[in-house]
Amino acid sequence: MILGASSGIGQEVARQLINMGWTVSVAARREAPLVSLKAIEPSRVEYAVVDILAEDACARLQQLADRTGGIDIYLHAAGIGSQNRQLVLQTEEETVRTNALGFTRAMNWAYHYFEQQGKGHIAVISSIAGTKGLGPAPAYSATKAFQANYIEALEQLARQQGHDIRFTDIRPGFVDTPLLGESPAYPMLMSVADVAGSIIKSLVHEDDVKVIDWRYRTLVGLWRLLPRWVWKRMRI
C-alpha cells in the first residue's frame, strides 16, 4: 500500500511496482491520478481517496487493505514541503499538520494493522532535510526529523513488544518532482524514476535507513561533522 501515490515519488514507485507484477493499493487525496494507476493493470490495483487529515482516514485505509486481501508493506509517501524564508505561519502550520499530525495518524494505523496481522513492513519517505535544521524550510526539515525519529521509536517499540514489524527510513535528497516547484537552482537533482527504483530495492532488501544516493550519503556525513556554530553561519 502506498499513501501519497497521486504524484511525485509515490506515484512513480506505484507505477514501477505495478509494471513489475506486484499487487498494489494506492491512496491519496486526488482521485484522477489513482484511476490512471489502476488503468495500468485493473486486476492488480485498488485505490481509495484518502485525506490523511480527515477523521475517516484510518477507516478508509483499512477498507482499502481489506479489498486487496491484506498488505505486507505500507509505504508512506504523503507529505508537503516548501521553502518558507518569510516564515509565513499558514505554510508552517499546514506542513506540520500534514507531515507530523497526518503522518502520526497513518503510522498508528499501519503499526496496529501489522500488529494484528502478525508481521509487516513500514517504510517512510522522509528526507535528508531531517538531518539538520534548514533555515529556508524550518517546518519541513523539523517534520522530516520528526518522522525519522518516530519510526525509529516504533522500531524499538515493536522489538520490545515482540512484533515482527520491519521499518525502513528512506531519505532522498533533491528529486525532480512538483514538490520542488519550478526553481532550477537545486544541486545534485535526481530523477524520480531513479529514486523510485532505489526505493523499491530498499523495500525488497528491508534496509533500516537508506540515503539516496551516494552523493547525498557523503553530504549528510559531512553535515553531521559540522559544529552548531559553523552550521548556523552557512548559507543554504
Cβ(207)–Cβ(125) below 8 Å: no
Q: How far is CA 138 from CA 85, 133, 207, in A?
A: 8, 7, 28
For range 214-226, the mean pLDDT: 76
**H helix count then E strand count, the chain:** 9, 7
The pLDDT of residue 183 is: 53
The pLDDT of residue 58 is: 97
Q: What is the torsional sign of CA 183, 186, 190, 195? A: negative
| Residues whose CB falls within 8 Å of the CB of residue 57, separated by 6 or more in sequence, listed in order | 50, 51, 102, 105, 106, 109
| Residues whose CB falls within 8 Å of the CB of residue 67, separated by 6 or more in sequence, listed in order | 25, 46
**DSSP symbol at 101:** I
Residue 225 banded pLDDT, cuts 50, 70, 90: confident
Residue 37 banded pLDDT, cuts 50, 70, 90: very high
| Amino acid present at 46 | E
* Poorest-pLDDT segment among 72-76, 109-113, 162-166, 182-186: 182-186
Superfamily for the 2-231 domain: NAD(P)-binding Rossmann-like Domain (3.40.50.720)
Residue 34 in this model has a pLDDT that exceeds 90: yes
Residue 101 in this model has a pLDDT that exceeds 80: yes
Residue 187 banded pLDDT, cuts 50, 70, 90: low
